[in-house]
Amino acid sequence: MANKINIKSLSKDDLATFIGAKGLPRYRAEQLFQWIYKRDVSSIDEITEFSRELRNTLREVSFISNLELVKRLTSQDRTEKFLFALEDGNTIESVLIPDEGRLTLCISSQVGCAMSCRFCLTGKQGFVRNLTSYEIVDQITAVNRLIRPARISNIVLMGMGEPLANFDEVVEALWRIVYFIGISRRRITLSTAGIVPKLRLFAEKAPEVNLAISLNATTDEERNELMPINKTYPLPQLIAACRKYPLQPTRKITFEYVLIDGKNDSIEDALRLVHLLKGIRCKVNLIPLNIHPESSLKRSPDKKILAFQNILLKSRIRALIRGSKGQDILAACGQLRSGDAKKQLAF
Ligand code: SAH
């Protein structure tokens, strides 16, 4: 592949320039994009609309990169986990969640994660590198190819990594998902641990996708302990940024709140949460902690979860208890990990 251009690494304008420089008409760039993003082709040879001669010409100077499927696991609840290898040998995970006519893909934005949230397994492997925009988008293309003729309908950026810490590539990926793959921005949700200065920028630069904030605590003391990022961007700053976030009229911010026994699940926490969220158009997803072998934290008992939810509901905050799917294959929230080939053996 040396010296050949990876077509997926080019923006639409750059591809048009590249195609023009080869003496080809510009509409070829449009056709290439259609075949790559709408028909999920994995090689130039699959583009049957092009003559053999044109395919040969393109193949001499360019190629289409692909994620390599290393492993595919199916949960008892039909959730599927895909382990993909990147060109440099690093691996990432994506999770497909079928639900009431929707096919949601949970995609990763980084190899590993630098946030070190205490309850999350991805954080334990540390940060390896950012994904490129095409590696982010390719998770969708690769899974679409595997599940043909079905197609992914919804995207959540809630897999490995902190998306706002990989800002430029994530924003470019979102534009491609919306405009090239054609998934509506209403069906896309980005979840962040709360990189406060990036929130406003995100509203300016990215398509208007849904925003989810991993809140998980109601005091700085508690949140510092669970999510070290809170020491850099404390709760008051995060909540103020949410209040100012330019929401579309019909939209709400989702606050995710992982319920951990004895840490953040008291009645006082629920009352403080109501107070914090006052005046923010929002809903709350309560996520009972998914346990993993590398943490001693425990899931809140059902009684406490229901009591917590009740307080929110009584204050007219929409609060759903989200049962995480795919726990038997470590595909649920906070259970994704990849790393190097050695670690894959334990996968
Ligand atoms: N870095 C981003 C996206 C990844 S985490 C973020 O922090 O939002 C996606 C969601 O999974 C977050 O809301 C997080 O709070 C939740 N989560 C992480 N570990 C979990 C666990 N062990 N059990 C339940 N939810 C968890």
- Confirm or reject: Cβ of 230 under 6 Å from ligand 1: no
Structure tokens at 319: 């609060």
What is the distance between the alpha carbons of residues 189 and 104, in angstroms, rounded to a whole number? Answer: 10
pLDDT at residue 339 in the model: 55
Q: What mean pLDDT is reported for the chain?
A: 94
HSE-CB for 338 with a 13 A CA cutoff: 28
Which residue out of 93, 135, 172, 256 is catalytically annotated? 93
pLDDT at residue 336 in the model: 82
- Confirm or reject: Cβ of 144 under 6 Å from ligand 1: no
Which of 120, 192, 202, 321 for a ligand 1 pocket mutation test, highest count of atoms within 8 Å of Cβ?
A: 120
CA of 47 to the centre of ligand 1 (A): 39
Q: How confident is the model at residue 124 (pLDDT cuts 50, 70, 90)?
A: confident
- Confirm or reject: Cβ of 191 under 6 Å from ligand 1: yes
* Residue range 297-342, pLDDT digits in tens: 999 999 999 999 999 999 999 999 998 788 888 877 887 887 543 3
CA of 36 to the centre of ligand 1 (A): 31
- Give the contacts of 160 (CB within 8 A, at least 6 positions apart): 92, 93, 108, 109, 110, 111, 112, 113, 122, 336, 337, 338
CA-nearest residue for atom 24, ligand 1, is 289
Contact 259/287 with Cβ under 8 angstroms? yes
- Give the contacts of 14 (CB within 8 A, at least 6 positions apart): none
What is the distance between the alpha carbons of residues 235 and 278, in angstroms, rounded to a whole number? Answer: 14
Contact 325/332 with Cβ under 8 angstroms? yes
CA of 213 to the centre of ligand 1 (A): 10
Confidence check: pLDDT of 37 > 90: yes
Confidence check: pLDDT of 108 > 90: yes
Atom of ligand 1 nearest to the CA of 162: 1
What is the distance between the alpha carbons of residues 134 and 245, in angstroms, rounded to a whole number? Answer: 28
Structure tokens at 225: 């302990």
Q: How confident is the model at residue 2 (pLDDT cuts 50, 70, 90)?
A: low
pLDDT at residue 1 in the model: 62
pLDDT at residue 327 in the model: 80
Confidence check: pLDDT of 245 > 50: yes
Rg (CA), the chain: 21
**Cα angle 247-253-257, degrees, rounded to a multiple of 5:** 165
Question: Is there a catalytic annotation at residue 333?
Answer: yes
Give the mean model confidence (pLDDT) for residues 216-234.
Answer: 98
pLDDT at residue 87 in the model: 94
- Confirm or reject: Cβ of 214 under 6 Å from ligand 1: yes
- Confirm or reject: Cβ of 339 under 6 Å from ligand 1: no
Q: How confident is the model at residue 345 (pLDDT cuts 50, 70, 90)?
A: very low
User: Which letter does DSSP use for residue 239 in this model?
Assistant: H
CA of 268 to the centre of ligand 1 (A): 22
CA of 304 to the centre of ligand 1 (A): 20
Q: DSSP for 41-53? A: -SSGGG-TTS-HH
Which of 258, 261, 327, 338 for a ligand 1 pocket mutation test, highest count of atoms within 8 Å of Cβ?
A: 258
Give the mean model confidence (pLDDT) for residues 170-198.
Answer: 97
Long-range contacts of 8-15 (CB under 8 A, 24+ apart): 8/36, 8/64, 8/65, 8/134, 8/137, 8/138, 9/65, 9/132, 9/134, 11/172, 12/180
Structure tokens at 65: 């990169």
CA-nearest residue for atom 12, ligand 1, is 214
Q: Of 128-142, 230-244, 324-338, which gets the smallest average pLDDT? A: 324-338
Confidence check: pLDDT of 343 > 50: no
Question: pLDDT > 90: what percent of the chain?
Answer: 86
